[in-house]
Each structure stands twice: as structure tokens, then as C-alpha cells.
Amino acid sequence: MKKKLSIILSILLCVCFLFAGCGTSPVMPQGDVTSNGGAVAIKGDYIYFANTYVDYTTLSGNDNQENNVEHNAIFRIKTDEYGFTTKDDDGRIKDVEKVYSKIAGFNNSNMFIVGDYLYFTSPNIHKDKSGADKFDLTTLFRIKLDGSEFKEILTTESSQGKFYLATWNTPYLLIFDNNKVTKLELKNNLSAPTVLLNDVEDCVFPSKAGQITRLFYTKAVSEEESKVGITGNYLYKYNLALGTSTQVGNLMENGGIKLVAFENNTLYYKLADENGFAPYYSSKLFDGFGADQVCWTVVGEQDGTDAVSNFKVIDENHVVYNAQSKLYLATKGDGNSANYSILVDSDASIELVSGDYVYYKTADGISRISYKDKVEQSVATLSDIQSGNMKVAGEYLYFYAKINASETGVYYMHRASIRTIALKEPTEKVECISSILADELNSTEE
């Protein structure tokens, strides 16, 4: 009887650990948050977004002071149960409200909803010792979802700051900045970030928030090595659970290794050879360097210094990239090489990959193509679209585009229905969801 009771208790404890997220079991404590990252975050019926995109190099003075930010601020829209917006008799979207007066749509946009808080990045407003603006630095803030309890958390020390949301038991941000990787736990009572790694040359985060267990990074050769003519760098992997680093392979010579992406627990990288070529490779790197290495580009043909761009991962067997003014699909073949074919034989700049589709920008707007059936579809026919801040959330593609060609450098948030495209409806369904100033609205109606 005691033995049976012991077995039952053990089973119950296992179930408790499974649902409570004890130990290192991954938990998504996000409730009804359906999208995080970039310039859009969605929770329940509310879409939180940076109303406009502005390049931080165009800012000056008090442009990002709270009381001075109007249409560049953070807004939200309440949608109906189907995710649709409601409009008034003039066709304007209703239920649009300002959440906080800060710029959040810029060169380093990041929005994350965790619990009842919205974390977002914004151009730094603190001047340097000489009194000069430093908008190239990024400041991380936090507010309640209703716009209250505004809090400044930290400011990067360099213009290269990168942020990644890890969703384990306690969600946290990984931050790469000024040769350091730090960890900021996103709790109600925030503490200072913990330094995980120093002397980091570069590191790479996955493209989507999730449950990351390993982090790959590079370190430059030491000063002593450099003095005797040794060049290149070293590759390391960091175990986030154990807090330990392991060197992968030996010195990466001929210019070193350049990290490109970390997707599906696989590292993608450029590795230069003695002839000056820099093909794109991938490896899971569980059993040392290069054991399962795959070369994705054609050595000597597509791998010059800048020949390949916009390299994106579809899955472990497929990648896409731009080369020679075309859009290529590479498919993993037998052994350690890939076969490639042309998906789009024109000047099409890849923006993102979502599911089976590659979204790309042309002079006519945004289109997408399935890597499986090779069918192209128009998503949004607009002439002036901002690159780099597109994302698919639910059944919509979110992106910035101009509504007034005469206004320099201001792009408004739009979304295009990809549900409409999938159903092959005859017309695109694209809407500007931004709150627009009266003079801007008048100029678009003329």
C-alpha cells in the first residue's frame, strides 16, 4: 500500500512540475500575448504599435521629450473579436488611442508585452558631456499597458545594442551592447542587469522571441596575438542554464567567422577561406565545429564580399537570399552542400520569412512567394515603403509606408491582410492604422 501511495505521489509531483514550470521546464507566462518584437506587440484585442517610423539621424533637440512627441508616439487600437478594426462614416479607424508620448518606431525598434507591462526602446535623450545629442544610443523603458507607471530602465553604451526576449519561467531580456551580454529579468520589481559575458566581439540572437538555451558569440584575438601578426577570431557557445562557455574549434583565420543567424537551434555564419571567398554555412555545433556543416552558397560564384545579402532561414533544409539582383532559394542536398534555384528573377529585396512564404519589396510595393509552389502574390501596392520593420502577426503583415510623398522621412504604420491573399480575393486589403495629423490627412485627400 505504501509503495502504491509512493508511486501515486511521484506521478502527482511530476504533473505539478510540468504545469508549474519548476526547474528548467519552459513556460510561456504570456497569457493572450500573440505577438512580440519589432514595432508591434499584440495582447488580446489590443494592437500596440509605434505610430510612425523616423530615422534617429533626423532628430534634434527635444524631439523625443515626452511632451513634444505627438504622432510619433506609441498608440494602440482595439479590434473586434475577429481582429478587424472599426471605422467611422469617413472611413477613419475608431478606437485609436495614444498610450505614451515617446518615439518607438526608429532604427532599433523593440516592443515586448510581459504581464501587464509594455517594454519598448526609444532613441536616447541624454546628452554627452559636451552637451551633444546621442540619439544613436538606445534607451529601454517600461510602462503599464494603460500608459501609466513610466520607468526608464537603461541606456545602451553603443549604437549596436541588440535585444532578445527569452520566455522561460521568468521572462528576461538578453542584451548585447558594448562588447557585453547582459540579462535583465522582467519582474515587477526590476533589478540591475546581470553581466553574463565580457569581451564579446559579436553575438547572434534568434529572430523570434522564445526559449533559447544556447548563445553563440565571437571573441577577437588577444592584443598579444595581434602584435605578432595573428588575425581572425574565436567562436564560443554559452550554456544559459549552466552559465558556462566552451570554445568551438580553433582560431578562425582569413578574416574570421561572421555570425549571420541562429534559427532552429542551428548557427548560420560566413567563413572566409584563403582565396578571399566567404561562403555561408550552417551547423548545429553539438559535436564540435563543422561536423554537420552545410555550405549554402556557391563558392566563388555567389560569395564575394558583398555578393550575397538578406540571408534568411526558412527551415533547416531551406534558406533564401539576394544575389546578383535576384532572389535565390537554396535547398539542402546530399552531404554538406545545397542546391540553389532562382525564386524571383528580378530586383526583389527580401524583407522577412514567415511560414512557407518569403516577403520581399520591389519598386511596386510588397509581394510574397511560396518556396514550395513558387506562386507569387501581391501583398501591398505602395510606392514608398520603409525596409527593416516588417513583421507578420496573426493574419496581417505590418509595415511602415508613406502616406504623403512630400513629407520627408515619415512613415506610418500599415497592415495588409494575408488572409485575403490566401483566399485569392481580387483586391488587396491594406489599411493605415496610424493616428494621422489633420494636415497630413487633408494632404492625402486632395
Looking at residue 376, its amino acid is: E
What pLDDT is recorded for position 17? 32
- Tell me 337's DSSP state: B
Q: How far is CA 108 from the centre of its chain?
A: 10
Type of residue at 393: A
Per-residue model confidence (pLDDT) at position 439? 43
Question: Where do the DSSP E strands lie in 287-440?
Answer: 294-295, 308-315, 318-323, 326-332, 338-344, 349-354, 357-362, 365-370, 376-380, 391-393, 396-401, 411-417, 430-432
Q: Which residue has the cell 539621424?
A: 57
Per-residue confidence (pLDDT) for residue 426, from 0 to 100: 64
Contacts of range 394-402, beta carbons closer than 8 Å, 24 or more positions apart = 394/34, 394/35, 394/42, 394/83, 395/83, 395/419, 396/83, 397/359, 397/366, 398/38, 398/39, 398/40, 398/49, 399/366, 400/39, 400/52, 400/53, 400/105, 401/432
Q: What angle do CA 149, 154, 159 make, to 5 degrees?
A: 135
Q: Please tell me the predicted confidence (pLDDT) of residue 28.
A: 40
Residues 6+ apart with CB under 8 A from 8: none
**Which grid cell is 309?**
545579402
CA dist 36 and 393 (Å) reads 9
CB neighbour list of residue 247: distance below 8 Å, 6 or more residues apart? 234, 235, 236
pLDDT at 302: 53
Q: What global pTM score does this model have? A: 0.88
Q: 99 by DSSP, 3-state: which? A: strand
Distance CA 124, CA 162 (A): 15
Q: What is the pLDDT of residue 381?
A: 92
pLDDT of residue 411: 93
Of residues 403, 393, 397, 390, the one with CA closest to residue 434: 403
pLDDT given at position 16: 37
Residue 44's pLDDT is what? 94
pLDDT digits (tens, 9 = 90+) for 285-295: 887 777 789 99
What are the mean pLDDT values of the chain's consecutive 10-residue runs (446 residues total)? 42 35 37 90 96 94 89 93 86 87 95 96 94 95 96 94 88 96 96 97 92 94 93 94 93 90 94 80 84 80 66 96 92 89 93 96 94 94 90 95 78 92 74 72 40
- The whole-number pLDDT of residue 9 equals 37
- Which of 43, 112, 119 lies closest to 78, judged by CA? 43
DSSP 74: E
d(CA 15, CA 355): 33
Q: Give the model's pLDDT for residue 31.
A: 61
- Find out whether 233 and 218 touch, Cβ atoms under 8 Å: yes
With CA atoms as reference, report the closest residue to 154 among 105, 116, 195, 95.
195
The pLDDT of residue 254 is: 79
